[in-house]
A = this chain, B = another copy of it.
Amino acid sequence: MSEISLKLKLELAKKLVREAGDFLLAHLTDTVEITEKSRFDDLVTNLDKAVQMQVIAGIRAAYPDDYFLAEEDADSDNSSDVKHDILDGNVWVLDPIDGTTNFIVQRDDFAVMLAYYENGIGKIGVILDVIRGNLYWGDGQKSYKNDRQISLVQKPLRESLLGVNTYMYRTNVGGLLDLSFDTLGVRAVGSAGIDYVHILDGKIWGYFSNLSPWDYAAGSVLLAPFDFVTVQLDGSPLDFKGRQMMMSVPKNQLAIIADYQAKSNEKKK
């Protein structure tokens, strides 16, 4: 796709995500309808679904032939496919409210995330930290926070904090607990989008979690200009299908992380 066409898609993505954020802010003090998905702590609200429908409608109006990979299942009256294969064609990846539990309980630390991939290659990433009003966006070459280009300075592990999934941290999956002992500590914020924003703001060194494609699609594009990789714990690519344990870390640190993993595997023997 031409550069100009991509630029138009990026502008549309930014606009739709900003509108989604405004919509959520307008409904922030509403009583939301909460539904349990897989279990009592896996929640979705009517607003997740409303935002998803809004954003998809906005894209479809401009690009009727593009595909979607989105968090919430399509309603029964909406027969369209929202779980399209990332490798096949022009695919928009959407998480309408990332950190739904935070949205429900805290009314803070949640994000709207939208990405665009062509045949599996990330071309656009957009994350809105809704409460702080900061929009992070990029094309995989450069990333911006609002109107300012982001620059990232990699700090030593011993002067850094890690963003973690609490299960993986406490069970030392991939040596994550051991790794954390050589840092200033871990932070658990409960939203992939906010963790990505924290990497882009230089607040955490990297992020380790158990995520679905819509949780990492935008963050992966936004971190690419800084030589970060978003991969499985063993360094292999993510499949953009089900939930997978993964990490977003500086590429030049993969060997160091592999050492911690090897040592933790030794211990388990």
Contact = CB atoms under 8 A, between A and B. Distances in A.
Given A187-B190, A189-B187, A101 B170 contact: no
A188 B170 CA distance: 13
Nearest to A40: B158
A187 B184 contact: no
A65 interface: no
Interface stretch (A119-127, A159-167, A223-231): A159-167
A198 B107 CA distance: 11
Contacts of A184: 41, 43, 101, 105
A188 to B, nearest CB: 4
A108 interface: yes
A78 interface: no
A184 B99 CA distance: 12
Nearest to A155: B105
Contacts of A115: none
Contacts of A158: 40-41
A191 to B, nearest CB: 10
A155 B187 CA distance: 24
Nearest to A183: B41
A233 interface: no
| Interface size, A (range) | 20 to 34
A198 B108 CA distance: 10
Contact of A105 (B106, B169, B170, B203): B203
A160 B190 CA distance: 13
Given A101-B161, A105-B159, A161-B106, A177 B170 contact: yes
Interface in A196-214: 198, 201-204
A19 B155 CA distance: 31
Nearest to A101: B184
A185 interface: yes
A186 interface: yes
A166 B185 contact: yes
Nearest to A106: B203
A187 B106 CA distance: 11
Interface string A143-156: 00000000000010
Contact of A185 (B41, B159, B160, B186): B41
11 contacts: A41-B158, A41-B185, A43-B184, A105-B161, A106-B203, A166-B185, A166-B188, A170-B177, A186-B188, A187-B188, A188-B188
Return the 6 tightest CB-CB contacts between A and B, nearest first: A170-B170, A106-B203, A188-B188, A41-B184, A101-B184, A105-B161
